Homo-oligomer: A and B are copies of this chain.
Amino acid sequence: MSTEWEKPIIDDIRTVESEMLRNVKSRHPLLNEIAMEAVSVGGKRIRPGVSLLAFHCVGGEDKDRIIKLAVALELIHSATLVHDDINDKAEMRRGKTAIYKKYGLERAIITGDFLFVQGFKLGGYMESEEIIGFVASACSNMAESEFLQIDEEHDISTPLETYLNIIGGKTAGAIEASARLGAYIGGGSPEEINSLGEYGRNMGYAFQIIDDILDITGNEADMGKPVGMDIKDGRPNLPVMIAMNLGNEFISKIFKEKSPSDEEIKEAVRLVKDSGALDVARNHAQDFYNKALESIENIASSVYKDSLISLADTIMTRRS
């Protein structure tokens, strides 16, 4: 299923997907099966999409190189998803049973490691200290943000700044890296690389805030997973934080609990909806969306730039 924003690069996205599958082949049939499954459920392909669009926006020509990089980044992303599901105790991902639930903890940890290795192998083949350093630094930031997120679990007074630090490393940093590296490999000027990087970072913030909102407003069928999971696990979620900040004590009580009941979660979700916090959170996302589009004002017009704008719209209006 292709969406509007992907149109000018749809063939490249398909190449990235087939290259991912080719790069996770293993002689062990079950490792092969799990690795294929992990890279197939990867979803929206936003990161490789952003890399490819940024590359084309600056007039990039060496397509093999950008595809190799996009495959590397998406393999690393798939590795983190397999490990994240363990850490988030997620039962489902995109309507499918999470890997560790289906194949067990041991195999999930090893498959994640295997995907990391395949990703870094391709990244290493880029033979550029700058690229490797940038990818590695995005990955380190991700690890630090995950530690920060654990620190904040069940904390009812996480400051907005800490929340932005967490999602900055966890989500925005990876999308920024995808954009920045795409523009770099495409031969963009320092200004172009910066502008596209800023686009990626701001769209990353918006993406995560919309994700948080969907954890409250989404429906299970569209999402492929239950709602209210952040409340259940006491994970920082912007509308929930805002609602608690407005003084809603029932939400705070549930957010602090280690094992709230389904009924309690449902009631807390309802109260977040009624609190007005969703509009405030959506305004934050809108601010980041605006900043993202402002960032690329100086980028020359092209179908690829139109796609970046269309991708931003898709992220803001998505329902899953």
Interface of A toward B, CB cutoff 8 Å: 26-28, 30-31, 79-80, 83, 86-87, 105-107, 109-114, 116-118, 120-121, 123-125, 127, 129, 132-133, 136, 139-140, 143-144, 146-148, 150-151
Contacts and interface: CB of A to CB of B under 8 A. Distances in A.
B106 A87 contact: yes
State the 4 A-B residue pairs at the shortest beta-carbon distance, nearest first. A124-B132, A121-B136, A120-B120, A124-B124
Main secondary structure of the interface of A (DSSP, over half): helix
Central interface residue in A30, A117, A148, by most chain B CB within 10 Å:
A117
A272 to B, nearest CB: 25
A109 B124 contact: no
A80 to B, nearest CB: 7
A131 to B, nearest CB: 8
Given A80-B113, A87-B106, A110-B87, A132 B121 contact: yes
Contacts of A133: 121, 125
A134 to B, nearest CB: 10
A203 B207 CA distance: 51
A79 B120 CA distance: 15
A143 B117 contact: yes
Given A117-B136, A124-B132, A125-B129, A143 B26 contact: yes
Contacts of A116: 113, 116-117, 120
A289 to B, nearest CB: 29
